[in-house]
Structure 1
Amino acid sequence: MKGTHRVVVSTKRLKYDFVIRRNITIIQGNSATGKTTLVDMIREAVNNTSGASVDLVCDKKCFVLDGTLWKEQLAAVSNSIVFIDEGNEFIKTIEFSKFIQTTDNYYVIVTRESLPTLPYSVEEIYGIKTSGKYGKLEQKFNEFYRIYGSDIYKESIHPDTVLTEDSNSGYQFFKSICNDSHIKCESLNGKSNIFQYLNSNDNENILVIVDGAAFGSEMHRVTELIRDKKEIAIYLPESFEWLVLLSGVVKNSMLYSILERPADYIESKECFSWERFFTAILIDMTKDSYLAYTKKNLNSVYLTDTVKKSILERIKYIKLN
């Protein structure tokens, strides 16, 4: 499934109106904020299509998944938006993560816990905010980068240390930039190691660069940790490949449309994370050219002054040179 899909579910007293943009949407929040009510209303509308007290409007079928037979239920669901309420322990398992990556559904998961087995975006974590008698989804982590307080963006950031989550091309690019500017740059070999590093290091001006498309499970504990640490900043591009495409270095007639509305082009069954999609697009658009891109080893052309400048210009407020 691809595209954005609006869901409107309502009774005479309550109404939820929101748009699903990616294959995984997380709804968080404390008790009594309307999370379970939303799922219950979806369930009622789906199970009682005739004479139901709940109206459900969506261009895709909706389904509520729960219980120990989740796999058998899910095997019969296709091209649908699947809602899962908190309390279903299977959402934490590797088995669930692997299974849904073979499906063409979108998933809306209610949980107060992080789900490290799932690569979900920081931009698709929501809370439910009630206004009058209507409820709507409101993004919690909807900023492109996250620095424990919006005021910090008014000034440029000059880090002493730059951290990346892996050692692939993105790290190689930023390592080169940092070497030129005598800034320490380290790869932490996995997003889960970022919290441990930040928790054990003080008195450093640190910039953390991670793929926002898959960092959702780490976002809460990292932002809680650095809330009062003004020397730490987080930059959250979709991925390094997305940043390259955004820079204008690659010329392609379709590129503007893809970057403007990526959901219209990303088939969830083929690219479970948007990071995978942007990697595939960059590789395809540069193959057999001097810009030929690979994930593991960065083509040296991306380290030339002109290309480096074009990419760095897309990173606002952060000064690495």
Structure 2
Amino acid sequence: MKGQVKFRIYDKDNEYRFTLKRNITIIQGESGTGKTTLLQAIFNSMSGSSAVAYTVETSANYFVYTDAYTNLRWETVLAEITNSVIFIEENNRFVYSNDFAKYVKKSGNYFVIIGRKPLKGLPYSWQEIYELVSHKGSGDLRRIYEFKEFYTNFTFTDYNFDLVIMEDSNAGFEFFKNFFSNVPVISANGNGNVLNTILAADASNILCIVDGAAFGSYLQEYYDDFENGKHYNKRITIWPPESFEWVLLKAGVFTCKNLDKILENPSDYIECSSYASWERFFTALAEESSEAQWKYNKNRLDDYYLTSGIKKKVNDVLPKELQDLAKKKTDGGKTDNITKMSLF
């Protein structure tokens, strides 16, 4: 399954509108915001219940897993579903299991999972974590419900970073260690180790570069920790591009047919049964598009990708703050002990 999927679900009083862009979407938020009503409306429509009051408009097949199936194993209920959007109600503990994670990655379905806790086994994007918000519609009496991103980008200024932490220890780490020559760059050796690496670091103003396409489950944990003042002497900024390979592709390091269209609308090109996350797709695309003499390898970066020409291309697509960081002169400056975690 691939492509964006639009839903419009409505009755005379309420209307839900949302678009699914990837194979995994997480819905968070407090009780009473309309999540249960949404799932019940879709379930009634799916089952042909006489209680149907809502009209569901979408081009996709869909299925809702609710407490109506609690007497059956989830594997049995979902086994035969393909090329569909599967909605899963809150409090279904199986979504945290390794078996469910394996199923999601291979099933070829899209999933909308309602839950407040991070699902560490699933590689979902920080951009696909939402809350349900509502507002009064114009011209009629309906209330409009829509998905709102839980975490949003915002800019920053005058961040004099004294350390850069890379999520991975492979190509991206090799590149940025060379690129940021005046600032220490270390590896966390995996997204699950980023927080411990931050806490162990002898630095107070830290930039973390992570693969945003698969960092969603970690972002909530880290963000809550720092925003609640648990680590009062650290200022953390996270830059979450889709992946390092996405950066190289965006910079035009590789020649690829339809590259501009792919980067503009990745959903149209990424078959979720083949790629559990967009990070894997962009890695495969970089490998396939690289020239034979300078074959791209995620595990070991060829020296060609550290040349001034390549670094110039990458520099030109980076946020201005990272361009400035690459020019930074070591001054030994320290930041005040202000708790902050931000995205940009």
Question: SS of 1:208's equivalent?
Answer: strand
CA drift of 1:189 comes to 1.3
1:102 to 103, 106, 120: 106
The residue type paired with residue 186 of structure 2 is E
CA drift of 1:313 comes to 2.2
Percent identity (aligned): 37
Q: Does 1:208 align with 2:208?
A: yes
1:39 corresponding residue in structure 2: 39
CA drift of 1:155 comes to 1.8
Alignment of 1:255-274 (within 5 A): 255-274=259-278
1:235 corresponding residue in structure 2: 239
Contact kept in structure 2, 1:164 and 1:188, CA below 8 Å: yes
CA drift of 1:252 comes to 2.6
CA drift of 1:200 comes to 4.7
1:123 corresponding residue in structure 2: 127
1:70-120 per-position Cα deviation (integer Å, ceiling 9, x unaligned): 111211111110000111000000110001211111000000100000000
Contact kept in structure 2, 1:127 and 1:139, CA below 8 Å: yes
CA drift of 1:49 comes to 6.4
The residue type paired with residue 303 of structure 1 is L
Name which of structure 1's ranges 191-200 and 33-42 shifts more when overlaid on structure 2. Answer: 191-200
Q: Tell me, in whole angstroms, the C-alpha distance in 2 between the residues paired with 1:18 and 1:295.
A: 35
Contact kept in structure 2, 1:199 and 1:225, CA below 8 Å: no
Q: Does 1:12 align with 2:15?
A: no
1:198-238 per-position Cα deviation (integer Å, ceiling 9, x unaligned): 34557522110000000000111212233366732110000
Question: SS of 2:196's equivalent?
Answer: helix
Question: SS of 1:222's equivalent?
Answer: helix
Q: Tell me, in whole angstroms, the C-alpha distance in 2 between the residues paired with 1:276 and 1:191.
A: 15
The residue type paired with residue 161 of structure 1 is L
Question: SS of 1:15's equivalent?
Answer: strand
Question: SS of 1:313's equivalent?
Answer: helix
2:339 corresponding residue in structure 1: none
What's the TM-score, normalizing by structure 1? Answer: 0.91
1:224-278 per-position Cα deviation (integer Å, ceiling 9, x unaligned): 2333667321100000000000011222331111101100000000001000000
1:291 corresponding residue in structure 2: 294
Contact kept in structure 1, 2:167 and 2:191, CA below 8 Å: yes
Contact kept in structure 1, 2:10 and 2:56, CA below 8 Å: yes
CA drift of 1:63 comes to 0.3
Q: Quote the RMSD (CA, aligned, Å).
A: 1.8
Closer, same or farther: CA 226–305 of 1 in aligned 2, 3 Å: farther
Q: Tell me, in whole angstroms, the C-alpha distance in 1 between the residues paired with 2:201 and 2:299.
A: 28
Q: Does 1:160 align with 2:162?
A: yes
Question: SS of 1:102's equivalent?
Answer: helix
1:147-192 per-position Cα deviation (integer Å, ceiling 9, x unaligned): xxx3xx24254421111112111111111223x22x2111111212
Q: Does 1:304 align with 2:307?
A: yes
Question: SS of 2:121's equivalent?
Answer: coil
Unaligned 5+ segments in structure 2 are 137-142, 328-344
Q: Give the paired residue count.
A: 310
CA drift of 1:62 comes to 1.0
1:147 corresponding residue in structure 2: none
Q: Tell me, in whole angstroms, the C-alpha distance in 1 between the residues paired with 2:51 and 2:101.
A: 36
The residue type paired with residue 161 of structure 2 is P
Asked which structure has the greater CA Rg, the reply is 2
Q: Tell me, in whole angstroms, the C-alpha distance in 2 between the residues paired with 1:106 and 1:115.
A: 16
The residue type paired with residue 175 of structure 1 is K
Name which of structure 1's ranges 279-288 and 83-92 shifts more when overlaid on structure 2. Answer: 279-288
2:77 to 59, 73, 78: 73
Name which of structure 1's ranges 112-121 and 215-224 shifts more when overlaid on structure 2. Answer: 215-224
